[in-house]
């Protein structure tokens, strides 16, 4: 047999089979080809594939080479019936010498398997769900070998991914016999912007794509250069128009997203290289394609999601330039259709310009097939208050276009062609959310205090998109986290000290009577700098945060000096160090901060200017510091819990990895226990402590944290009013009771159930969606 030729040949054959079936777009046809290849390769009499239909609780024969072909789609085996059902129930391979003698054997005359004795069946499983069963059968009465069994198990694991992807893409026909209405499909992505939305999927026309352009030569170099320059000029004007079309309440720093477009449009950026290609004899469109694809491939090859997003921006801009080249050189007329109903904007890659030009009155939500919550589209969506879900892999715009979509920007869940009861439930959630929003807005100016008199301070996490509330003067009790890395990430070089002074001064002056906590540069991990590349196999456990800045004191000192200079004459600056994992890091950082403080003090000596020594705090996000809090308390003025990274590190889960994202959960009992231990130790050491992760801005999380003893919560700006209103409608004693249930729970599902039941009893059910 071929399988006995050695492990190397088995692996080679397996790769060949998998590669072949992945090239067949229709899964039904791919399964038939798979059955034939397995039968030939393993030299068996039959190979068959059954897929699970959970609506009818049956396994359906979808493909076979060896059983009677008329049985395909006709034979349906109950989940608890026959050997196929047994494989599915046991969720492990079943290897039988004589199938007919097995007590679970069930005869199906239409399959014509009377002559087959040996039976090997393996479940097809993805993420704990049985998708089907693949079998091999032989006339000989024998047990299949270990190599044969291992081959089929390995093949089934690979097949599971293809079946899952096909189901999501809609490439697999519905298993149910009756399919008179579009089947509901549930898709999961990454939450990009909070909120609930319902609308019709709308994919903008993109008739011109640089990636599809065929390169051409030219003899008229001057004319082509003129066409290119004219197209760039028109594109620059269009980008300016789109930037100005954004809502007036969106601050300038969010609109600065378009600065990247302007940089690329600059003659010293793309322009110089494109014109060099034209002079080599290529027309304007071809030259643009050659240059842009090199840049885009560099970004797409980067491990980090933020940097990969820049490829989206480059390609989007280049398609616009290409369109204008064709209009200029060939008289093309581009007429795009416009949405006429409430719509969910759907695209393979939603770009900032695409979002800006979409009619605002029709835009209810955003669904991006690719992308992450770092994308410019996600940042703009949060600034505009539009729900968004990013990174919905294995879905094509064509699958969801013109279909009704329910979009949950809190959880990242999307439902396409929802069933009536699901749709009605979702509409009810939206109505509850809207009703509560009216009550929240009406009471937004009232103090954040529980019904039994416990005062909670609410702070804002500020960065690129949270500046809206900062400008509007609605930043709560201050800024608990200002992400200073944003200006670094938007530039092509390290910002100078004076540039940083201007940025920080503007922030400090925006709320001069409130404390503003600026976190020192936190790059690396999922936030690399384009001009300071870090190539690591595991960036989250690598050179990031305080580790990087202490290794580069010239970068750290410039930033600290800029913060101190920006605070001259003010007294509201607080500094915070990210990714602390040891006492030594704090001691070294303090030394450098002291050095910068004395330098600035010397510079202003003899003037009427005053410099106040800022309070210094550290982020608690690396698990090691949980066991060092008494020692660390001697060197800092406050703690701030970064619950997002702390959760990620405690549970060993990358929350941006869709395969394991479901395991990331700040309500895991272990995470809650860690948060509880932190506040107990901080209170004992008499060091103030704040929580600035996402859990602080969620209803259930805020109640649990309050019950633990936290009195300072920092959150995204759009959550402050909601949490303020929530806390005023609960009591401290109730929160302690809820905490007791949560800390003794076995799983996050148990925690959610306790939270949801509590909120329902309090008449706060409309907050459940956002909280859990």
The radius of gyration of the chain from alpha carbons, rounded to an integer in Å, stands at 30
Backbone angles phi, psi at 686, to 5 degrees: 60, 40
d(CA 472, CA 278): 49
Kindly state the tokens that stand for 500: 């940083």
Q: Give the C-alpha distances (Å, rounded to integers) separating 296 from 239, 302, 493, 616.
A: 20, 10, 19, 41
d(CA 476, CA 719): 10
Residue-wise DSSP of 233-255: HHHHHHHHHHHHHS-TTS-HHHH
Backbone angles phi, psi at 475, to 5 degrees: -100, 25
Contact 671, 652 (CB under 8 A): no
d(CA 235, CA 262): 10
* Nearest by Cα to 265 from 211, 317, 300: 317
d(CA 431, CA 59): 40
Residue 100 DSSP class: G
d(CA 567, CA 612): 8
Count Cβ atoms within 10 A of the Cβ of residue 220 and give its class: 0-12 exposed, 13-18 middle, 19 or more buried.
exposed
Count Cβ atoms within 10 A of the Cβ of residue 550 and give its class: 0-12 exposed, 13-18 middle, 19 or more buried.
middle
Give me the helix-helix angle, 699-708 and 720-727, nearest 10°: 60
Residue with the two structure tokens 């019904």? 451
Q: List the catalytic residues.
A: 376, 692
Contact 492, 530 (CB under 8 A): yes
Within 10 angstroms of residue 625's Cβ, the number of other Cβ atoms is 24
Enumerate residues 6+ apart whose C-beta is below 8 A from 9. Answer: 2
Residue-wise DSSP of 102-161: STT----GGG--TT--EEEEEEEEETTEEEEEEEEEESS--PPPHHHHHHHHHHHHHHHH
Residue length of the chain: 772
Give me the helix-helix angle, 643-651 and 669-685, nearest 10°: 130
Residue-wise DSSP of 292-330: HHHHHHHHHTSSSHHHHHHHHHHHHHHHHHHHHHHHHHH
Within 10 angstroms of residue 112's Cβ, the number of other Cβ atoms is 15
């Amino acid at each position: 047999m071929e399988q006995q030729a050695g492990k190397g040949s088995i692996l080679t054959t397996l790769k060949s089979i998998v590669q072949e079936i992945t090239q067949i777009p229709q899964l039904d046809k791919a399964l038939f080809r798979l059955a034939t290849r397995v039968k030939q390769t393993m030299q068996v009499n039959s190979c068959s594939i059954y897929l699970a239909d959970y609506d009818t609780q049956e396994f359906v024969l979808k493909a076979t080479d060896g059983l009677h072909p008329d049985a395909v789609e006709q034979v349906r085996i109950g989940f608890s019936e026959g050997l196929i059902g047994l494989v599915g129930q046991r969720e492990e391979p079943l290897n039988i010498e004589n199938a007919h003698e097995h007590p679970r054997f069930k005869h199906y005359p239409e399959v014509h398997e009377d002559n087959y004795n040996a039976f090997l069946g393996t479940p097809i499983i993805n993420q704990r769900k049985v998708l089907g069963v693949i079998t091999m059968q032989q006339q000989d009465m024998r047990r299949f070998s270990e190599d044969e069994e291992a081959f089929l198990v390995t093949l089934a694991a690979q097949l599971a991914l293809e079946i899952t992807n096909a189901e999501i893409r809609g490439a697999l026909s519905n298993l149910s016999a009756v399919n008179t209405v579009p089947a509901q499909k549930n898709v999961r992505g990454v939450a990009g912007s909070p909120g609930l939305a319902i609308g019709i999927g709308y994919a903008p026309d993109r008739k011109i794509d640089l990636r599809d352009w065929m390169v051409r030569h030219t003899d008229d170099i001057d004319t082509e250069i003129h066409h290119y320059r004219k197209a760039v000029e028109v594109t620059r004007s269009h980008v300016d128009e789109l930037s100005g079309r954004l809502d007036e309440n969106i601050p300038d720093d969010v609109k600065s997203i378009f600065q990247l477009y302007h940089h690329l449009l600059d003659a010293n950026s793309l322009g110089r290289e494109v014109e060099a290609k034209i002079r080599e004899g290529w027309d304007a469109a071809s030259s643009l394609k050659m240059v842009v694809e090199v840049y885009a491939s560099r970004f797409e090859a980067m491990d980090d999601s933020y940097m990969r997003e820049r490829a989206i921006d480059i390609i989007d801009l280049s398609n616009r330039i290409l369109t204008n080249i064709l209009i200029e050189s060939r008289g093309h007329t581009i007429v795009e259709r416009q949405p006429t109903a409430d719509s969910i904007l759907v695209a393979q890659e939603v770009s900032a310009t695409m979002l800006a030009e979409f009619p605002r009155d029709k835009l209810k939500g955003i669904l991006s097939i690719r992308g992450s919550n770092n994308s410019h589209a996600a940042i703009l969506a949060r600034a505009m208050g539009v729900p968004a879900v990013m990174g919905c892999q294995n879905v094509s715009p064509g699958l969801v276009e013109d279909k009704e979509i329910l979009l949950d920007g809190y959880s990242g869940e999307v439902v396409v062609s929802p069933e009536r009861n699901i749709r009605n439930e979702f509409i009810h959630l939206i109505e509850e959310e809207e009703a509560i929003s009216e009550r929240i807005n009406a009471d937004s100016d009232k103090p954040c205090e529980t019904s039994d008199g416990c005062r909670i301070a609410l702070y804002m996490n500020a960065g690129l998109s949270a500046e809206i509330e900062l400008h509007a003067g609605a930043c709560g009790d201050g800024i608990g986290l200002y992400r200073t890395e944003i200006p670094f990430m938007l530039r092509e070089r390290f910002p100078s000290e004076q540039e940083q002074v201007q940025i920080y001064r503007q922030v400090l002056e925006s709320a001069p009577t409130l404390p503003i906590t600026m976190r020192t540069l936190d790059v690396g991990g999922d936030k690399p700098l384009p001009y300071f590349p870090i190539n690591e196999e595991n960036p989250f456990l690598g050179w990031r945060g305080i580790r990087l800045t202490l290794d580069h004191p010239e970068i750290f000192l410039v930033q600290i000096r800029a913060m101190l200079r920006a605070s001259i004459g003010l007294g509201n600056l607080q500094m915070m160090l990210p990714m602390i994992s040891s006492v030594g890091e704090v001691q070294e950082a303090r030394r450098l901060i002291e050095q910068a403080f004395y330098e600035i003090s010397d510079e202003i000596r003899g003037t009427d200017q005053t410099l106040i020594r800022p309070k210094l705090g550290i982020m608690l996000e690396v698990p090691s510091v949980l066991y060092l809090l008494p020692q660390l308390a001697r060197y800092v003025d406050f703690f701030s819990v970064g619950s997002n990274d702390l959760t990620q590190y405690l549970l060993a889960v990358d929350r941006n990895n869709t395969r394991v994202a479901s395991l990331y959960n700040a309500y895991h009992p272990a995470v809650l226990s860690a948060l509880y231990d932190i506040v107990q130790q901080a209170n004992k050491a008499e060091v103030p402590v704040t929580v600035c992760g996402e859990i602080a801005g969620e209803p259930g999380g805020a109640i649990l944290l309050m019950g633990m003893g936290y009195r300072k919560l920092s959150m995204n700006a759009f959550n402050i009013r909601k949490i303020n209103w929530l806390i005023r409608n609960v009591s401290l004693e109730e929160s302690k009771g809820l905490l007791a249930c949560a800390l003794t729970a076995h799983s996050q599902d148990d925690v959610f159930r306790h939270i949801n039941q509590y909120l329902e009893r309090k008449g706060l059910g409309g907050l459940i969606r956002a909280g859990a």
